[in-house]
Amino acid sequence: MAKSKQHQEAHGIGQIEQQLNNQMEAAEEIQGPSKLDGEIKKTSHRRVDPLEDLSK
């Protein structure tokens, strides 16, 4: 039973993420792109080197 509940929760989280993404895209279409949103999106897609983070 626990695995089923965990699966349902994970699926629900995925649906929430998809809905938020859809809302963000709709807002961008209506309002135009935000500079801050662009920076966040760019940063979220950057390649992360964990060793580089430790050297700072």
The overall average pLDDT reported for the chain is 78
**Alpha-carbon distance values, 4 to 7, 8, 11, 39 (Å):** 5, 6, 10, 38
The count of domains in the chain is 1
What percent of the chain is predicted at pLDDT more than 70?
A: 77
Q: Choose from 5-9, 13-17, 41-45 the range with maximum mean pLDDT.
A: 13-17
- In this prediction, residue 10 carries a pLDDT of 67
pLDDT at 7 over 80: no
pTM greater than the 0.85 cutoff: no
Compute the CA torsion angle 21, 23, 24, 28 (nearest 10 deg): 140
* Token representation of residue 43: 């940063």
Domain span including residue 20: 2-54
